[in-house]
Structure 1
Amino acid sequence: MRIKGYIIKHKKKSILVGILLIFYAFCLPKQLFVKPTSTVITSTKGHLLGALIAEDGQWRFPHNDSVPDKFKTCLIQFEDEHFYKHPGFNPVSIFKAIQQNINAGRVVRGGSTITQQVIRLSRNDRPRTYLEKCKELILATRLELRASKEKILAYWSSNAPFGGNVVGLDAASWRFFNRSSADLSWAEAATLAVLPNAPKLIYPGKNQQKLLAKRNRLLKKLLHKNVIDSLTYNLSILEELPQKPFALPQIAPHLLQKINKEKKGEFVKTTINKRLQNQTNTIVKNHYNQLSKNGINNIAVLVLDVNTREVLSYVGNAPTTKKNQKDVDIIDKPRSTGSILKPFLYAAMLDAGELLPNTLVADVPTNYGSYQPENFDKKYAGAISAKKALSKSLNVPTVRLLQKFGLEKFHDYLQKLQLRDIKKNPNYYGLTLALGGAESNLWDLCKSYASLASTVNHYTETSSFYFDNEFLNPTFYKGETIDFGKKSNQKIVFDAASIYLTFESLKEVNRPNADENWEFFDAAKEIAWKTGTSFGFRDAWSIGVTRDYVVGVWVGNADGEGRPGLVGIQTAAPILFDVFDKLPNSSWFEKPFDEMTQVEICSKSGYRATKICEETKLSYIQNTGLKTEPCPFHININIDRSSTYQVNTSCESLENIQQKSWFVLPPLQEYYYKKQNPFYKPLPKFREDCLGEVKNVMKFLYPTEKSTIFLPKDFDGKQNELILKVAHSNKEAILFWSLNQQFLGTTTENHELAITPKEGDFKITVVDNFGNEIQQQISIKE
């Protein structure tokens, strides 16, 4: 009642007081410090990986609420002993300062508390007039009411000037001592505590004696107050002062730039494993030193944790020169894929039930119009298991499988993998889609391989469930929630068995600089891996996956220049295995039995066995594999008792005829297959005294399809020859050749014929001495 009566009686005074109180309540800005800060990234354990200077050219780390105890003690003892007792200003200190300054006729001592210094720093160090001091005093008391003492210390530590363009304790610790503020010694903490007192006068490398005297006086004060013991004091005063600023760590510079685009001026804890990052940097540097001698200047490496989908190591480029674009982050840049997409085709065909791992596929000369795919070594196996074709990265079987599977279907699978750079329609890429006709980037490819591995892991760990968000993006932000989605009975892209069988095939890829029996060494890690080389030797890839990790490597030139020897197996694969050597061993994937069925497989053809398959074995295949056709390569034939000739009842009695199962390949496949498989037995001939049609089969080796053939001229202007080739099942056959009904000649045994046709359209006709005929249409262009 008395207060109310006083207010009524003294309205003007009360209004004035109210205004002053309102002004006091709102006099302090909500955000004290608004200057730009550096973007800072740390490892998963908080170790500094790198920082970018703030926009105003200052090394000013983002505000840190944590102040190390050593520095806190040194700061309070040097600047404000009664910090925890005063309300924002210290009347005794102010009085002593005024008295000494009057006596000296100049400013020789300041009476500001740490709180007042925080206010002055927030007001951009305005001129030190008495009016300004009064403002600081008022604002300091208001700050004391709003913030805790620890918060005020954190404000000071994050914004105090330490000389030059270094602001704040965290930046100063790294610039002057090359370590975190939490790791400072007593001498180092004391040095930084006295430095902001006169940052323009006392600077590391200059005025060493003044700085040393200030530091040692503070250390002696700590000794007298029993903060440190005599041994610590004696060792501390022997420590040298910093001579010049250190460069801040740049352990993951490309990741720093990437994060800076999203979280500029922030302090970001990443998922990076600092030790692994340093090891990967060293590996990349060592390989760059060798590869650069061949004009190969750029390398990128990405390491992912399969289970957490965290980025463990991020090397965006080699330590090359600015001329060779060292600042370009290759990891997210589209590059020609080479063969790195082949495993996705293999998995897709397994998933669709159109292939089994050991099914024989054709590896023979192939033409699709003017497109003629070739294997890297220019050789052909005739017929090879799909599994081995993948592990050997053969191009011809891949293109033939893609043509059989369907370009649109494969393209649809790739879209489900969310490979962002495959943007065109299927016909744009054509049959080169699986050989490097498309582009992708290391990030998306590693993400896809990690998702495949995680699919198998989750399926076996959760009693046969999938997760509907399995193919999510990896993260390099520590603490970011990874949500694999809800459990589902339905596959997301590929079923677990198809992925598992794909990894089993990739595990057999022969490693660089290793013999064929490398997998039998105890030290060998089980890794499913694949290489890729783009057309023109512009891009070399290698991606490996285990149950726990994915490592992806790209090697090449950022400007797209091709170089001899820029091949995945020679340049990227060695880096891949060097990185895997730094990772813990992983157990192999568990077999997803619920998605698999045990069936009898024909040992020779790899198809599901029929009753006439001679040798069979029980194998686990994907459930969808039950849709595949049975073995087409075994037929029953009638032979004589010596197994030398085929016979029939026209030439042999029934009791002397025996029926036998025979493994027979089509002529074109047989022609190449038997060269590498000496135990392959062609069909026996019919005995001469047998009546009936003798099956003599022949087929073009080249050209194999209706195609356009370009015949360039030599340097002397002479047109090159066109070599026509035909395979015949009967070694004794005689072939008669004609071109547009004009006779060319005959061949025996080795059926090859060289011609020099003019430009135009032609029909090649070949007839054997048994009356069999084959034809082929071609177009010749010069």
Structure 2
Amino acid sequence: MIRVRARLVKRTAAAGALLVLLSGLALWGLERADRAYPPPLDASREMSREVVDRDGQLLRAYTTEDGYWRLPVDLEGVDPDYIKMLIAYEDRRFFTHLGVDPLAMLRAAGQFLANGGRIVSGGSTITMQVARLIEPRAKRSLPAKLRQMARAFQIERRLDKREILQLYLTLAPYGGNLEGVRAASLAWFGRDPNKLSLSQSALLVALPQAPEARRPDRNRDAAEKARNRVLERMREAGLIPPSEIVRASAATIPDGRRAMPDLAAHLADRALGAQPDDRKVVLTVDRTLQARLENLARETAPRLGPKLSLAMVLADGRSGKILASVGSTGHLDAARAGAIDMTRAVRSPGSTLKPFIYGLAFEDAIADPQTLIDDAPADFAGYRPRNFDRGYAGEVSLVEALQMSLNVPAVRLLEAVGPHRLLSRFRRGGIELDLPPGGAPGLAIGLGGAGVSLRDLVQLYTSFVNDGTALVLTDGAAGSFGLGDEPDIRSRQPVLDKQASWRVGDILAGVDAPQNSPRVAIAYKTGTSYGYRDAWAIGFDGRYVLGVWVGRADAAPVPGMSGIATAAPLLFDAFVRTGIKPVAFASAPPGLVVRARRDLPFALRKFGSGGETGGMSASASTPPRIVYPPQGARVALNARGPGRLTPLVIKLQGGAGPYRLIANGAPVQRPSRRKIINWIPDGPGASNLTVMDAEGRAASVSVFIDAE
């Protein structure tokens, strides 16, 4: 008996050892198979590329290479009630099973047998459905189901439950070329899935089971019945009150697909081209502002006339960030060449550069806003500018000349300050004008005789909200600073000094709004290019700068079009349409003195450049010139005592005495007929020196004084 028991023990031990060995071999084999044939999770993750605004709101999305809208999904961006409904309907034990739910499989098999081979409910878990989505099979079969079960176990080993759920919400089909709950929510309801109604949630739960048969745009009845079945299941489970079920069941099913967000198309295309490896690109654009200006562009298009387009750029002048950029009336508007981004097209700016000419004249102290100037026929070495209306205003103040955008006074001032110097100031603002063949700047650039883009003009005008310093515009795409960075303007040279910039802005703020336009507290300047090809209006308040261009993309003339009549009303409408609360203009900078004409020095009461041969008599002498110190010189002076330096010797040539020296905008001594002037600086640092002769002609240099 003892021997028999011993044999049984040995046999049992041997069998147990064999079972353990076989189990170990099986597990080893499964492990090897799992490693050798992993689920193709990475292959399933090609997503649509998207461009979003500064707050992460979708501006524009693009289909995948295979033509699907497949937008990535973050669980935090999906309505939690929808997720609860999905799990309750599709996979109640999702958070507890290991990929396969045996109870659900037995229930589905029993219902199948009890109903004569008709499928009543499926036994697939959400994990098994993910397995089917990453490895689609044309036909349902027992081997295919077994493969899904094996893949489900593999997926559960590699991903946690949140990742599996997120993958399902990204890949599930919702009809047509829609994959993922985010694309479906945008297409069927025109909203992101973070705030779905009960009816919408139920429909999105039902669609993936039969996405083509239940498409709302093709079979509304089937979609409605499927939605109501989901709602009824929620009622039976006690998850939703009956009153809410009744209300949701009565909600209307959408009868068509909505267009995907398609804002800032020109910016988006350029941004993705600049960052080809990025799936998501973040722009500085504000989605709400962009949508409002694009709506204005579309509404305005029929009133503009055939083939005319428009462009708008709105920038935060204190940061340089573009808040909205409208490149045309619509990028699909072929009749108006809408595919061309006219914010970047180089066109003649008309009179929009005039404010900078006046600013230079104020900075050089060769003129004051109240200085009189002649608007009369003039000949500048063969160049004979005329006003837009072909008439002349006679003697006017510089304030009036700029506000009326008179051409002859602007050319007189440009001759005095010099076209080369004006271009150098534009370069300080990061802008290079497109000059005519030969490249030599002439007086015509002051009236639009050069090329510039709307975006560059807006960049230049940011100087008026930054004490004269222009900020390089950025939209957040590659090659520019990021959304959280701020430009360092301290190291940049200003386009105009603070006082000159403020004076110009103050003058432009006094220009009347166009007739029948809303009253908005902005300063603005208009322009019309040669041949009526371009109409411009650039406006700003204490912070924001908005530019408007109207014209034909092919640069054909448009008789009757002008900046004041065509572009300016759009500028005012756009400012109102944005809903931005106007920001007050900055107060006058310290030290600036606003004087009446009677209080001006004699030489500033009336301007005379002396270079023209018509309208005003030309001087027989040459204009004055500062031969020492040269422009940009760094001069070392000895200190006489605390706060006192030895005089700087200023040497002149040409001109007609007596000469008046103006340092940093203020006269510093009585006029002198000598061509050598001694000036004692207040202290070390940068200084602007201007010498004006008896005929009002001036010469200026900028120097830096060092104390030894």
1:164 counterpart SS class:
coil
In 1: Cα distance, 2:412 partner to 2:397 partner: 13
In 1: Cα distance, 2:281 partner to 2:120 partner: 42
Partner residue, 2:225: 213
1:482 counterpart SS class:
coil
In 2: Cα distance, 1:623 partner to 1:119 partner: 80
Partner residue, 2:498: 496
Q: Does 1:540 align with 2:552?
A: no
Question: Which of the numbers 512, 521, 525 marks the counterpart of 1:526?
Answer: 521
Partner residue, 2:83: 72
Q: Which moved more, 1:534-543 or 1:303-312?
A: 303-312
Q: Does 1:304 align with 2:312?
A: no
Do the aligned partners of 1:59 and 1:171 also contact (CA within 8 Å) in 2? yes
**What is the aligned length?**
592
1:406 is displaced (CA, Å) by 1.8
Q: Does 1:196 align with 2:208?
A: yes
Partner residue, 1:56: 66
1:196 counterpart SS class:
helix
Do the aligned partners of 2:320 and 2:462 also contact (CA within 8 Å) in 1? yes
Partner residue, 1:625: 665
Which structure 2 residues correspond to residues 10-21 of structure 1 after superposition, within 5 A?
21=31
The RMSD of aligned alpha carbons is 3.7
Partner residue, 1:161: 173
Q: Does 1:485 align with 2:525?
A: no
- Structure-2 change in CA distance of 1:407 and 1:212 (3 Å): closer
Partner residue, 1:715: none
CA shift digits 1:415-456 (9 cap, x unpaired) = 222225536798444221121111111112112212441346
Which amino acid in 1 is paired with 2:546?
V
Which amino acid in 2 is paired with 1:432?
A
Partner residue, 1:363: 375
In 1: Cα distance, 2:671 partner to 2:178 partner: 76
Question: Which of the numbers 296, 300, 304 marks the counterpart of 1:291?
Answer: 304
Which amino acid in 2 is paired with 1:504?
D
Do the aligned partners of 1:309 and 1:482 also contact (CA within 8 Å) in 2? no
Question: Which of the numbers 455, 460, 466 marks the counterpart of 1:448?
Answer: 460
Which amino acid in 1 is paired with 2:308?
N
- Structure-2 change in CA distance of 1:196 and 1:328 (3 Å): same
Which structure 2 residues correspond to residues 313-712 of structure 1 after superposition, within 5 A?
313-319=324-330, 321-420=333-432, 422=434, 427-455=439-467, 471-475=471-475, 480-485=483-488, 487=490, 491-513=493-515, 524-581=519-576, 582-593=579-590, 596=592, 602-603=598-599, 607=603, 624-626=664-666
Do the aligned partners of 1:354 and 1:625 also contact (CA within 8 Å) in 2? no
Do the aligned partners of 1:284 and 1:575 also contact (CA within 8 Å) in 2? no
Percent identity over the alignment is 30
1:529 counterpart SS class:
strand
2:420 counterpart SS class:
helix
CA shift digits 1:615-656 (9 cap, x unpaired) = xxxxxxx97323699999xxxxxxxxxxxxxxxxxxxxxxxx
Larger radius of gyration: 1
In 2: Cα distance, 1:387 partner to 1:312 partner: 32
In 2: Cα distance, 1:630 partner to 1:124 partner: 93
- Structure-2 change in CA distance of 1:242 and 1:511 (3 Å): closer
CA shift digits 1:290-333 (9 cap, x unpaired) = 221xx462111222222343333332212594122123221122
Do the aligned partners of 1:411 and 1:426 also contact (CA within 8 Å) in 2? no
In 2: Cα distance, 1:344 partner to 1:410 partner: 8
1:544 counterpart SS class:
strand
1:543 is displaced (CA, Å) by 0.3
- Structure-2 change in CA distance of 1:424 and 1:132 (3 Å): farther
Q: Which moved more, 1:433-442 or 1:57-66?
A: 57-66
- Structure-2 change in CA distance of 1:623 and 1:87 (3 Å): farther
In 2: Cα distance, 1:152 partner to 1:609 partner: 80
Which amino acid in 2 is paired with 1:624?
N
1:551 counterpart SS class:
strand
2:334 counterpart SS class:
coil
Partner residue, 2:243: 231
Do the aligned partners of 1:529 and 1:544 also contact (CA within 8 Å) in 2? yes
- Structure-2 change in CA distance of 1:355 and 1:54 (3 Å): farther
1:331 counterpart SS class:
coil
- Structure-2 change in CA distance of 1:627 and 1:433 (3 Å): farther
1:368 is displaced (CA, Å) by 3.3
Question: Which of the numbers 76, 83, 97 marks the counterpart of 2:94?
Answer: 83
- Structure-2 change in CA distance of 1:44 and 1:354 (3 Å): same
CA shift digits 1:641-697 (9 cap, x unpaired) = xxxxxxxxxxxxxxxxxxxxxxxx99xxxxxxxxxxxxxxxxxxxxxxxxxxxxxxx
In 2: Cα distance, 1:101 partner to 1:419 partner: 75
Do the aligned partners of 1:601 and 1:607 also contact (CA within 8 Å) in 2? no
Do the aligned partners of 1:597 and 1:623 also contact (CA within 8 Å) in 2? no
1:439 counterpart SS class:
coil
Do the aligned partners of 1:298 and 1:317 also contact (CA within 8 Å) in 2? yes
1:375 is displaced (CA, Å) by 1.5
Q: TM-score, normalised by structure 2?
A: 0.74
Do the aligned partners of 1:361 and 1:386 also contact (CA within 8 Å) in 2? yes
Do the aligned partners of 1:607 and 1:629 also contact (CA within 8 Å) in 2? no
CA shift digits 1:360-381 (9 cap, x unpaired) = 3343322234422112122334
1:183 counterpart SS class:
coil
1:536 counterpart SS class:
helix
In 2: Cα distance, 1:549 partner to 1:405 partner: 29
In 2: Cα distance, 1:350 partner to 1:202 partner: 72
Do the aligned partners of 2:435 and 2:441 also contact (CA within 8 Å) in 1? no
Q: Which moved more, 1:571-580 or 1:84-93?
A: 84-93
Partner residue, 2:105: 94
Long gaps (5+) in structure 2: 1-15, 607-661, 673-693, 696-708
Partner residue, 1:116: 128
CA shift digits 1:484-530 (9 cap, x unpaired) = 22746x8443222221111112112233227xxx9xxxx95432211
Do the aligned partners of 2:337 and 2:553 also contact (CA within 8 Å) in 1? yes
In 2: Cα distance, 1:383 partner to 1:310 partner: 42
- Structure-2 change in CA distance of 1:537 and 1:145 (3 Å): same
Do the aligned partners of 1:356 and 1:628 also contact (CA within 8 Å) in 2? no
Do the aligned partners of 1:421 and 1:440 also contact (CA within 8 Å) in 2? yes
CA shift digits 1:580-638 (9 cap, x unpaired) = 234312212122215x467896447885589xxxxxxxxxxx97323699999xxxxxx
Q: Which moved more, 1:386-395 or 1:337-346?
A: 386-395
Long gaps (5+) in structure 1: 1-5, 457-465, 611-621, 633-664, 667-782
Which structure 2 residues correspond to residues 253-272 of structure 1 after superposition, within 5 A?
253-262=265-274, 266-267=279-280, 270-272=283-285
Do the aligned partners of 1:63 and 1:154 also contact (CA within 8 Å) in 2? yes
Which amino acid in 1 is paired with 2:551?
G
- Structure-2 change in CA distance of 1:54 and 1:546 (3 Å): same
Which amino acid in 1 is paired with 2:360?
A
In 2: Cα distance, 1:14 partner to 1:485 partner: 67
In 2: Cα distance, 1:486 partner to 1:305 partner: 14
2:666 counterpart SS class:
helix
Which amino acid in 1 is paired with 2:310?
I
